[in-house]
Amino acid sequence: MIPARLNSSRLPRKVLLDLHGKTVVQRVYEKCIQAKNIDEVYIATDSLEVKESCELFTKNIIMTSETHESGTDRIAQAIENIDCDVIINVQGDEPFIDIKLIEELANSFDDETKMVSAMHKIKLVEDLKNPNVVKVNVDKNLNALYFSRSIIPHHRDDWDSLLNHHVTIPEPLRFYRHLGVYGYTKEFIKTYSNMEVSYLERLEKLEQLRVLENGYKIKMIETDYNSIGIDTKEDYEKALELLK
C-alpha cells in the first residue's frame, strides 16, 4: 500500500513531481510491483488529482479521507475491504525503494510480530545532525526503543568532538537511521487506527511513536539500503541527478 498525499507540508505536491517522464508516485509503484512475495499493490490517496494521474498506469487506487493524521491511518481505511494478512507501507516519496527490503519485511512476520520496520547505520555526522533524518535506538532483540529527530543516544564523553571535529562517525559508535517503510498485520493496523494520536507522536511528528507509547513492539530489520525519500527541494534535485 502506497499512501500518496498531495499537500505535503515540506514539499507540496511532491508525489506528482516529474522524475524524467514519470511522477514520483509512479516510480514508487513500479518498484513495488517487482517484489516477488507481494500479491497486490495499491495507492491510497485523498486527492482526485493524484487519482487521475495514477489512473494512467494502474486501476489499483483507493480514495480515502482528507483528515487522516498519518499514512498508517490512511492505509487503515484503505484496507477495510481488502482480504489480506500483511500490509507493507511504502511511502509515496520513495522512488528508489529497495525491492529486496520489501520482500524481507513481508517475510519477517511470525506469530508474535505485529509490526516491522527498517533501519541502517548512519555513517556521516552531517546526517546525524539533520532533524529530517529520523534516528532509532533498539534493544538486543532489535525491537525499537525510541525514534527521534534528535540525536539518540547522547554520546556523553565526547559529544563536542563527535559533532564538530568528525565528518564520519568513528567506530565503535553506532547510530541508526529509521527508514519509513513499515509492515503490519491487518489486525494490528485496525488496532493502531483506533488509538488516539499520542503526545510524543504529535511532538516529534513521527507516527510510529504512537505504537511505542501504547506499549506495542516494532521489530527492526537492519539493511544496507540508504533511503532516498523526497522530502525537500534538495532531495528532489538529488533524485533527478541520480536517475541520470
Mean pLDDT by 10 residues, the chain (244 residues): 86 92 96 95 95 97 88 90 95 94 95 96 95 96 98 90 92 94 95 93 94 97 88 90 90
Strand-pair partners of 183: 88, 116
User: In whole angstroms, what is the distance from residue 164 CA to residue 227 CA?
Assistant: 25
219/141 Cα distance (integer angstroms) = 8
C-alpha span between 185 and 106 (Å, rounded): 10
Query: What is the SS3 assignment for 55?
Result: coil
The one-letter amino acid at 135: K
Q: Is the peptide bond before 131 cis (omega within 30 degrees of 0)?
A: no
Predicted local confidence at residue 6, as pLDDT: 86
Distance between CA 210 and CA 64 in Å, rounded? 21
Task: Classify strands 43-45 and 2-3 as parallel, antiparallel or unpaired.
Answer: parallel
182 exposed, middle or buried (CB, 10 Å; 0-12, 13-18, 19+)? buried
Query: What pLDDT score was predicted for residue 4?
Result: 92
**CATH number at 2-243:** 3.90.550.10
Tell me the domain boundaries of the chain.
2-243
Cell numbers at residue 134, please?
529520523
CA dist., res. 227 & res. 182, Å (int): 13
CA distance 49 to 189: 27
Instruction: Report yes or no: 141 and 198 within 8 Å, Cβ to Cβ.
Output: no
